[in-house]
């Protein structure tokens, strides 16, 4: 492994999670960027980072920076990814990759022309060791033909009309919110595990709070759930959905059903799937991430505890602690970045990039596919009909 020099854009909820995970792998975070120079400087001091950049162009102009992590609000992803690739930097961008499929298509094309650069999207849920294990079991034929997949991604941090974040405005987050913000994690995960591509969707969305109270000062993600206070507010209209249900048809005939909500009291950050196959069924829930349930018809069901000694060879390298020593959300960032930084080493060494099923980290092509599914979901909701996913 070569030790890389990395810059992170975004100092809110998830930027510091990136900083911590990059460091756990032994790489060096050489600089950080906030929405203002003051925010960047504050984060640099708090996180012990040597440089706070005054702007994204200053970050890109730093010749020390090899890899850029983009952890800013969604509306910045397109411009920042484009500029970072053009500047010759490897990119890890937060999801969703951009806010329209026209943008994500352009980023895919740009990444293809920069074939010596790695361009990844941070669908970190793939890297829970038991999600990698589920994928391996499907690939090995242990689940049989996948008949259907059901699941959900449920949160409660936007339950009240007084809860506010940039995500609720279409301008900052994009036209879809719950689906694009958390539903895309589920869509990516299911495609990753089963290998099934989504062909068509039928969606029904609901904006529960059509007016929310926006703080006139700053607000950050999960602020109220992490004990932050509320100051003065102003009423703003909201068009993005708090809830969505989506019926799915996969290529080849399998069916699916997804529910997403950011107004489900008591569910803090729960992503769950049930994969029904002809031989077995797999169930996993991120709020109990160290257990994979395997269901059988003709023998006792199994409950597999995450333990490297019990995992398939392909999942084992991504579980770094012995059984009983729980791994969770922050570890998934470390493991996704491990896969990305390994890919950077391979490219630099002139080795062929891993492709297809061998490549584990989510690429810009994956981010583009999910944006196409999102747009089909919005079209379906607006038309009241099934919508084909364009490709």
Ligand X SMILES: NC(=O)c1ccc[n+]([C@@H]2O[C@H](COP(=O)([O-])OP(=O)(O)OC[C@H]3O[C@@H](n4cnc5c(N)ncnc54)[C@H](O)[C@@H]3O)[C@@H](O)[C@H]2O)c1
**Footprint of ligand X on this chain (CB under 6 A)?**
9-15, 33-35, 39, 56, 71-74, 76, 94-95, 122, 124, 166, 181, 220-221
Q: Rank residues 336 and 344 by Cβ distance to ligand X and give the closer one.
A: 336
| 48 Cβ contact list (under 8 Å, min separation 6) | none
CA atoms within 13 A of residue 367's CA, in its CB half-sphere: 34
CB 10, min distance to ligand X, A: 4
Say how many C-beta atoms besides its own lie within 10 A of residue 257's C-beta: 15
Q: Decide whether 76 or 267 has the Cβ nearer to ligand X.
A: 76
Nearer to ligand X, 84 or 294 (CB): 84
In sequence order, what are the beta bridge partners of 338?
Answer: none
Nearer to ligand X, 26 or 54 (CB): 54
Task: State which residue, 12 or 151, has the beta carbon closest to ligand X.
Answer: 12
Distance of closest approach, residue 352 Cβ to ligand X, in angstroms: 28
Q: How far is the CB of 125 from ligand X (least distance, A)?
A: 7
DSSP string, 299-318: S--EEEEP-GGGS-TTTGGG
Q: For residues 73 and 256, which CB has a smaller minimum distance to ligand X in the complex? A: 73
Between 14 and 119, name the residue whose CB sits nearer to ligand X: 14
Whole-number Å distance between alpha carbons of 147 and 25: 39
Between CA 16 and CA 29 the distance in angstroms is: 11
Categorise residue 169: left if φ over 0, alpha if ψ from -120 to 50, beta otherwise: beta
Contact 133, 142 (CB under 8 A): no
- Residue among 137 and 369 whose Cβ is closer to ligand X: 369
Non-local CB neighbours of 229 within 8 Å, separated by 6+ positions = none
What is the distance between the alpha carbons of residues 144 and 147, in angstroms, rounded to a whole number? 9
Q: How far is the CB of 276 from ligand X (least distance, A)?
A: 26
Closest CA to 100 of 153, 192, 174: 174
Minimum gap (Å) between residue 234 Cβ and ligand X: 18
Cα–Cα distance between 197 and 333 in angstroms, integer?
25
Q: Shortest gap between Cβ of 121 and ligand X (angstroms)?
A: 9
Q: What's the min distance (Å) between Cβ of 220 and ligand X?
A: 4
Per-residue CA distances from 326 to 66, 129, 188, 322 (Å): 32, 11, 24, 8
Q: Which is nearer to ligand X, 55 or 382 (CB)?
A: 55
Q: How far is 42 from 48, CA to CA, in rounded Å? A: 10
- CB nearest ligand X: which residue? 12
Cβ 192 vs Cβ 332: under 8 Å = no
3, 9, 4, 5: which is closest to 52 by C-alpha? 9
């Amino acid at each position: 492994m070569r030790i890389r020099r990395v810059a992170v854009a975004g100092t809110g909820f998830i930027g510091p999670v990136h900083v911590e995970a990059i460091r756990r792998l032994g790489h060096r975070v050489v600089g950080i960027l906030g929405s203002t120079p003051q925010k960047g400087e504050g984060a640099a001091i708090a996180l012990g980072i040597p440089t706070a950049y005054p702007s994204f162009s200053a970050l890109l102009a730093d010749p020390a920076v090899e890899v850029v992590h983009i952890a800013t609000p969604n509306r910045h992803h397109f411009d920042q990814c484009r500029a970072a690739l053009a500047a010759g930097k490897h990119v890890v961008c937060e999801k969703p990759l951009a806010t329209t499929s026209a943008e994500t298509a352009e980023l895919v094309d740009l990444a293809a022309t920069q074939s010596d650069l790695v361009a990844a999207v941070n669908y970190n849920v793939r890297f829970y060791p038991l999600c990698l294990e589920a994928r391996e079991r499907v690939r090995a034929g242990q689940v049989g033909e996948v008949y259907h997949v059901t699941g959900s991604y449920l949160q409660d941090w936007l339950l009240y009309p007084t809860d506010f974040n940039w995500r609720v405005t279409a301008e900052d987050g994009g036209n879809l919110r719950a689906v694009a913000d958390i539903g895309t994690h589920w869509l990516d995960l299911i495609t990753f595990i089963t290998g099934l591509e989504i062909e068509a969707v039928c969606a029904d969305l609901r904006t529960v709070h059509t007016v929310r109270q926006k703080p006139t000062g700053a607000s950050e993600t999960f602020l109220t759930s992490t004990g932050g206070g509320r100051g003065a507010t102003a009423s703003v209209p909201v068009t993005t959905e708090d809830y969505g249900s989506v019926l799915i048809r996969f290529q080849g005939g399998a069916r699916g059903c997804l529910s997403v909500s950011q107004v489900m009291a008591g569910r803090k950050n729960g992503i769950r799937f049930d994969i029904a196959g002809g031989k077995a069924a797999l169930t996993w829930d991120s709020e109990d991430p160290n257990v994979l349930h395997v269901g059988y018809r003709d023998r006792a069901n199994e409950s597999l505890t995450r333990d490297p000694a019990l995992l398939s060879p392909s999942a084992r390298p991504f579980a770094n602690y012995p059984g009983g020593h729980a791994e969770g959300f922050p570890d998934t960032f470390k493991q996704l970045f491990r896969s990305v930084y390994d890919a950077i080493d391979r490219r630099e060494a002139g080795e062929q990039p891993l492709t297809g099923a061998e490549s584990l980290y989510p690429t810009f092509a994956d981010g583009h596919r999910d944006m196409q599914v999102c747009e089909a979901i919005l079209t379906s909701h607006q038309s009241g009909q099934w919508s084909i996913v364009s490709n």
